[in-house]
C-alpha cells in the first residue's frame, strides 16, 4: 500500500502549473496524474481549490484559515463562559433595582 503524502499548497500550485503546461502540450490528464502520483479526483480537488493561485496567495489563504480557526475557538470559549455565568446567576439571590441614575445590585 502506498504511503500517503501531504502536499503543501505551494507544491500543489507548482504541480498544477506544470501539469497544465503538460496538458497544453497534448498529454492527457490521466498521464499527468500518473506522473505526479495522484488520483484524478485529487487533481480536480486541487484545481477547484488552488486553480489560478500563486504561491503567495496560498500562503495567505493558509494564514487566514488559521486565524479563522483561532477566532472560532475564542468565540466558542466566550459563549461557554456566558452560559456558565447565566447558570450561576440563575441560582444567585440578587435583587436589581434600577432608576434613572443606573442599576444598583443588592445582595440578599
Its pTM surpasses 0.85: no
pLDDT single digits (tens) 93-103: 766 566 666 66
**What residue ranges do the domains of the chain occupy?**
9-107
Cα–Cα distance measured from residue 108 to residue 95, given in angstroms and rounded to the nearest whole number: 7
Residue 4 C-alpha cell reads as 500517503
Strand, helix or coil for residue 53: coil
Closest to 14 (Cα-Cα) out of 50, 66, 41: 50
- Interval 4-13: pLDDT, tens: 778 888 889 8
Amino acid at each position: 500500500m502506498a504511503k500517503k503524502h501531504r502536499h503543501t499548497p505551494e507544491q500543489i500550485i507548482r504541480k498544477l502549473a506544470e501539469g497544465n503546461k503538460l496538458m497544453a502540450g497534448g498529454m492527457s490528464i490521466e498521464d499527468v496524474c500518473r506522473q505526479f502520483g495522484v488520483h484524478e479526483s485529487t487533481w480536480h480537488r486541487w484545481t477547484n481549490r488552488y486553480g489560478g493561485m500563486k504561491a503567495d496567495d496560498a500562503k495567505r489563504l493558509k494564514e487566514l484559515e488559521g486565524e479563522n480557526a483561532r477566532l472560532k475557538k475564542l468565540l466558542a470559549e466566550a459563549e461557554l463562559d456566558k452560559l456558565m455565568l447565566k447558570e450561576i446567576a440563575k441560582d444567585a439571590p440578587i435583587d436589581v433595582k434600577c432608576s434613572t441614575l443606573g442599576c444598583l445590585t443588592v445582595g440578599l
